[in-house]
Amino acid sequence: MESIKKYWWVPVTGGVAALLAYYYWRFIKPCLPPPGNIIKNPSFEEGTSGWEAVFGYWTDDDHWCGKHCFMGKGGEDFALRQFLELKRRAIYRFQFRYRAESIYDRILVQIVHTYSGVMLSMMRVPGRWGWDVYNMGLYVKLIYDRPLSRGWREVLVEFETGREPDEEQRLDIYLPYDYQEYLYGNFYIDDVWLWFVKTL
Ligand SMILES: [Ca+2]
């Protein structure tokens, strides 16, 4: 009995440590950008700073991490742009979280090389969940597009950059005008991360 009294703190400390570990794993770690993330203001917690060509709204109506996200409004245009500097002949990973009110919105996500054209291109397939991915004949792999909760999803893709010398590069997220002029439902986006994996 004496030893039970003496060591009462062992299970209590273990329980607290397990709770803290769960809290970190569930709420903190998913909101930490991966090391080397090059997207500025990726969770839209600093308004739209770092982003250009903005068509849509900074909002606290919804979010995945932090308190804010970016929203394209149903019935309106939608676009986001950010300039990048990517290494040549390298593997990168690109991830973002989104909530789409309409399954029919054809969102286009592209990483554009201003001299030689589109590198990565991801088109959300209307009518079902999923993305079609292309990369100028270079390596590209859609690793997943998975549900989170509250209608949010997370998409992760891996792709290769080309051999051309450095040019201006940018990330564009927008509605392709040749398919539709406005969103059918609100489209929310948060936690846009892009990070270097390795050179080839
Ligand atoms: Ca956020």
Instruction: Identify whether the C-beta of residue 168 lies closer than 8 Å to the C-beta of residue 77.
Output: no
Q: Is 101 helix (H, G, I), strand (E, B) or coil?
A: coil
Q: How many residues does the chain have?
A: 200
Burial 107-133 (b: 16+ CB within 10 A, else e): bbbbbbbeeeeebbbbbbeeeeeebeb
Q: What are phi and psi of 141, to 5 degrees?
A: -145, 125
Supply 137's token pair. Answer: 């004949």
Cβ-based neighbour number of residue 71 at 10 Å = 24
Per-residue pLDDT, 27: 86
Cβ-based neighbour number of residue 102 at 10 Å = 12
Instruction: Identify whether the C-beta of residue 69 lies closer than 8 Å to the C-beta of residue 151.
Output: no
Per-residue pLDDT, 165: 67
Beta bridge partners of 169: 84, 113
Per-residue pLDDT, 20: 95
Q: How far is the CA of 88 from the centre of ligand 1 (A)?
A: 30
Distances, alpha carbon 13 to alpha carbons 1, 9, 10, 19, 68, in Å: 19, 6, 5, 10, 35
Q: How far is the CA of 27 from the centre of ligand 1 (A)?
A: 13
Per-residue pLDDT, 94: 97
Q: How far is the CA of 99 from the centre of ligand 1 (A)?
A: 13
Q: Give the pLDDT band of residue 181 (cuts 50, 70, 90).
A: confident
Q: How far is the CA of 67 from the centre of ligand 1 (A)?
A: 5
Position 166 pLDDT exceeds 70? no
Q: Give the pLDDT band of residue 88 (cuts 50, 70, 90).
A: confident
Q: Would you give the distance in Å from CA 82 to the centre of its chain?
A: 13
Beta bridge partners of 150: none
Q: How far is the CA of 165 from the centre of ligand 1 (A)?
A: 34
pLDDT tens for residues 7-54? 888 889 999 999 999 999 988 999 999 999 999 999 999 999 999 988
pLDDT tens for residues 109-162? 999 887 767 788 999 988 877 899 999 889 999 999 999 999 999 999 999 998
Instruction: Identify whether the C-beta of residue 187 lies closer than 8 Å to the C-beta of residue 175.
Output: no
Position 164 pLDDT exceeds 90? no
Per-residue pLDDT, 41: 98
